[in-house]
Copies of this chain bind each other. A is one copy, B any other.
């Protein structure tokens, strides 16, 4: 076995050629999406007006373990993959821990995050189906940026509904998308029925993700040759993101790294689901017993304080219902700076795995997260996205436990992205004006009240 370098880069020809579908190895499968009116599992035909055909197949397929990655997607992957697995030796030294810490860094691409892994797949299937374009919503902007890049590559039209407050406060994200040729509209807009209705009812609204989803779905279904695409939560997205875990596992095997603990931040679940996929396979088969930790913000604690029930995936209730850990689709998290973790629900796959105790979860507070981000930036030289910094915080906590016990555990965490477009959050932290907010039981009760009663 060769000495482990600081940054492990697999060779280009070691990029995995299939995604791994963890549902194939789950005994208790994740519950299907259901139609809110009939409460029956959604059928292929019912999804067709909204989603691309091939992506629906992937969404519904819970038996095929290996799904080949089309060559066109592999060609794009090689532009920024394999991503490095980094041995955080500078951080270890700073903490004085006997633990071995590694992170899989997904931020070395212009979109700045792992979202590109699924964006390029979704754009490809849209192109293959002969569509003109796709529509989507974006909040913080990571997903919108990734989709813009993917659509530019396949010369597909890309319509992004960006929550109005982000559109105005994050003009730089908007301009990256425009540079990639995307049509970016602040939501609610006057270009859709639902947008006009919301603008009429609430003339000064700054928008919400729920509203932007509704507009994007309407735009996709009301125009010939368009479909709607989504950057997290769905099974298909976790499938595409398995590339993260597959590369990580290959790098571990190549250098004899045996992880004890695997950590990822969890908003909708795309990054964590992708990172852990092949490790979960071994755990589901009883071959290995990794500790797997989902990290969420204390301000939006879907796993640690939510309910495992059917709920709407969006505030606007235009999407189907999913069985998941949820805080209720009306739950409004406080203004946490990790925009990508402010989702009321969670991937159905991860929800089932958490329910079945294959995954643990911890909630961390914002200021504490930025303290970890600062230490990480100064020692490892990468300025992390606030979302990713949640995983850093949890990894540091585990490494500090090792320092107390003297155990040399091996910790791997997902560093999903960079924070270059999140400097407003860092400014608050640098100025000492960042606040923490943990919802009271009363706050949570309000969200729970919006969960529909579903008796199947």
Q: Interface on A for B, CB 8 Å cutoff?
A: 5-7, 9, 11-12, 78-80, 90, 108-110, 112, 149, 152-153, 171-172, 175-176, 178-181, 374, 377-383, 418, 420-421, 423-424, 426-427, 429-430
Q: Could you pull out 16 A-B pairs where Cβ atoms are within 8 angstroms? A: A6-B79, A79-B380, A79-B381, A109-B381, A110-B381, A110-B383, A112-B420, A153-B379, A172-B172, A172-B424, A176-B383, A176-B426, A178-B427, A179-B374, A181-B378, A420-B420
Q: A382 to chain B: closest CB distance in Å? A: 6
**A423 contacts B172, C-beta separation under 8 Å:** yes
Residues of chain B within 8 A of A109, CB atoms compared: 381
Residues from chain B with a CB closer than 8 A to the CB of A377 are: 110, 152, 179-180
Query: Which of B149, B175, B379, B383 meets A179, CB within 8 Å?
Result: B383
Complex CA gap A382/B382 in Å reads 18
Q: How far is the CA of A73 from the CA of B94 in the complex (A)?
A: 18
Contact, CB under 8 Å: B378 / A152: yes
The listed residue (B5, B80, B381, B423) touching A11 by CB distance below 8 A is B5
Copies in the complex: 2
The residues of B that contact A112 with a CB separation of less than 8 Å are 420
User: Known: A383-B110, A427-B171. Contact between A6 and B374, CB under 8 A?
Assistant: no
Q: Which of A6, A110, A374 has the most CB of B within 10 A?
A: A110
Closest A-B pairs by Cβ, 10 of them: A172-B423, A152-B378, A175-B423, A420-B420, A5-B12, A178-B430, A175-B427, A110-B383, A79-B381, A175-B426
Given contacts A176-B383, A378-B153, A378-B181, contact A78 B420 (CB under 8 A): no
Question: Can you add 8 more A-B contacts, CB < 8 Å, to A110-B418, A152-B377, A181-B378?
Answer: A6-B78, A7-B78, A109-B381, A149-B381, A153-B381, A175-B424, A175-B430, A179-B429
Chain B, residue nearest A86 (CB)? B79
In the bound complex, residues from chain B placing their C-beta under 8 Å from that of A423 are 171-172, 175-176
- State A383–B6 Cα separation when bound (angstroms): 26
Q: Give the complex CA separation of A37 and B362 in angstroms.
A: 67
Residues of B within 8 A of A171 (CB): 423, 427
Q: How far is the CB of A270 from chain B (nearest CB, A)?
A: 20
Q: How far is the CA of A418 from the CA of B107 in the complex (A)?
A: 13
CA distance A426 to B184 in the complex (A): 15
| A378, B158: Cα distance in complex, Å | 13
Check if B378 sits within 8 Å of A180, measured CB to CB.
yes
Which residue of B is nearest A381, CB measured?
B79
Chain B residue nearest in CB terms to A172? B423
Compute how far the CA of A27 lies from the CA of B119 in the bound complex, rounded to whole angstroms. Answer: 55
Give the distance to chain B from A90, nearest Cβ to Cβ, in Å. Answer: 7
B-chain residues with CB within 8 Å of residue A172 when the two chains form the complex: 172, 420, 423-424
Q: Could you say which residues of chain B place their CB within 8 Å of the CB of A80?
A: 381
Question: Least Cβ distance of A210 to chain B in Å?
Answer: 27
Residue from A181, A378, A380 whose CB has the most chain B CB atoms within 10 Å: A378
CB A116 to nearest CB in B, in angstroms, measures 9
Q: How far is the CA of A6 from the CA of B180 in the complex (A)?
A: 22
Q: What residues of B have a CB within 8 angstroms of the CB of A180 in the complex?
A: 377-378
Cβ–Cβ < 8 Å partners of A178 in chain B: 426-427, 430
Complex formed: what's the CA distance from A429 to B181 in Å? 12
Chain B contacts for A427, CB-based, 8 A:
171, 175, 178
Residues of B within 8 A of A380 (CB): 79
